[in-house]
Amino acid sequence: MSKSSSSLYSRLHGIFNSSPTATLKPARSPNRSKPRNLVGKPKEPSASPASAAAAGDSGKSSIDAKEKTLRKQLEKFKKSCESDDFRQVHGIYSAFVRRLKGERKFSMIDEALQYQKKFEDIKSEDFVIRMMLLYGYSGMADQAHKLFDEMPELNCERTIKSFNALLSAYVNSRKYDEAMKVLREFPEKLGITPDLVSYNTMIKAFCRKGSSSDVLSIFEELETNGFEPDLITFNTMFEAFYSKGWISEGDKLWDLMESRSLVPNIRSYNSRVRGLVKNKKIPDAVSLVDEMRGKGISPDIHTYNALISAYRGDDNVEEVMRCYEELKEKGHRPDAVTYCLIIPFLCQKGDLDRATEVSKEAIKRKILSRPDMFKPAIQGLVDQGKVDEAMELVKKSKLQGYFRYISDLPINKK
């Protein structure tokens, strides 16, 4: 290891050990209280055995219907895969796998991806990598590994790229120790030399795992093997440090990055802004965004979401709405996070008119992945007797489960 590399490792080691807080322990999930029902659900009379059986049959029919629908979609997907052009559109594959993952249909995911072996594309390493990453996204690292092992039989060359995809599949499946085992055992067996992407993947794994000693070990190995950490390396660690609110340690890491002549990008700044917001240092977060702009880096939707979160925590309705309007003026598309921050907050502050308006904007933009975010606005409308407006939001926001209960409420419509 060179003198400069040794110094870099020592400085990183010092950052981890300079504060008892910087141990990279995984943050505990906050206790979530049971969400309040949108409206009081009428109590049902006790069911007779016959009615219970009927309900059971009804539930089973519903499940069977969904199973049939998914099976039809799978067969349609497989048929579409016969098209050369279709197989080149990775986004369609991702969307379909995401749908099946949401329904926990892992056997169908495996069937869809195994089906790809019949095409000549399977001889292309890039195509196989796509399949491995989809397995990893679905938490199916073992299937990704099986596909990796089969590559020689499929006349597909294995290089460092597919090896790194295998590491990513394990990391995205949250199997960090198994990923480390792959890194330790496979390169020598396969005649593959790990590269910077390999080490960055493992740094990501151990940052997620919360093991500072493993991060340091990988970092030292990275340098011992002649690699220089890049912006991805540092951004990965920024996310770990700042997400835990370790501002001092994160800033030392920032100085270390700049000492290597690496220029922070939007991802670097967003991690730092979120860290400041987490520590309730709102003025510092705003100043950092101004500094970012001064360096020619424009805020993105994630920056604005961080600022909205900051002003929300500060109970500043007008600044929240100013950020919301500004991000749209700058050409950014509000996402589900944006609306989940704003709609309940406006309702909490008693600004039901704007909460309803923003809800309608979200529906118009087809941001419907988290329908629960509309509940406070719907509840507020119900409480004010505006049942027609509440019903309209229910219909359009995919909260049909509440339709019957609102319909049954003995409220005078306004």
Where do the structural domains in the chain lie, given as residue ranges? Answer: 72-228, 229-332, 334-414
**Residues contacting residue 132 through CB under 8 Å, at least 6 positions apart:** 144, 147, 148, 162, 165, 166, 168, 169
Q: Which helix (H) or strand (E) holds 397?
A: none
Tens digit of each residue's pLDDT, the chain (414 residues)? 444 444 566 766 666 666 555 555 554 444 444 433 433 433 434 444 544 455 455 556 666 788 888 999 999 999 999 999 999 999 999 999 999 999 999 999 999 999 999 999 999 999 999 999 999 999 999 999 999 999 999 999 999 999 999 999 999 999 999 999 999 988 888 899 999 999 999 999 988 887 777 888 888 888 888 898 999 999 998 998 898 888 888 898 899 899 889 999 999 999 999 999 998 999 999 999 999 999 999 999 999 999 999 999 999 999 999 999 999 999 999 999 999 999 999 999 999 999 999 999 998 888 887 878 888 998 898 888 888 888 888 877 766 555 555 555 544 444
**Is the alpha carbon torsion for 373, 379, 382, 384 positive or negative?**
negative
pTM: 0.76
Q: How far apart are CA 393 and CA 400, in angstroms?
A: 10
pLDDT given at position 63: 66
Q: How far is the C-alpha of 379 from the C-alpha of 364, rounded, in Å?
A: 20
pLDDT given at position 59: 54
- CATH code of domain 229-332: 1.25.40.10
Output the pLDDT for position 236: 92
Residue-level pLDDT at 372: 82
Half-sphere exposure of 249 (CA within 13 A, CB side): 24
Residue 164 buriedness (CB in 10 A; 0-12 / 13-18 / 19+): buried
**Cα 114 to the center of its chain, rounded Å:** 26
The confidence score (pLDDT) of residue 219 equals 82
Cα separation, 347 vs 163, whole angstroms: 49
**175 close to 201: Cβ distance less than 8 angstroms:** no
Q: How many CA atoms lie within 13 A of 9 on its CB side?
A: 21
Class of domain 72-228: mainly alpha
Judge if 72-228 and 229-332 fold alike in CATH terms.
yes
Q: Which pLDDT belongs to residue 112?
A: 96
Single-letter residue type at 394: V
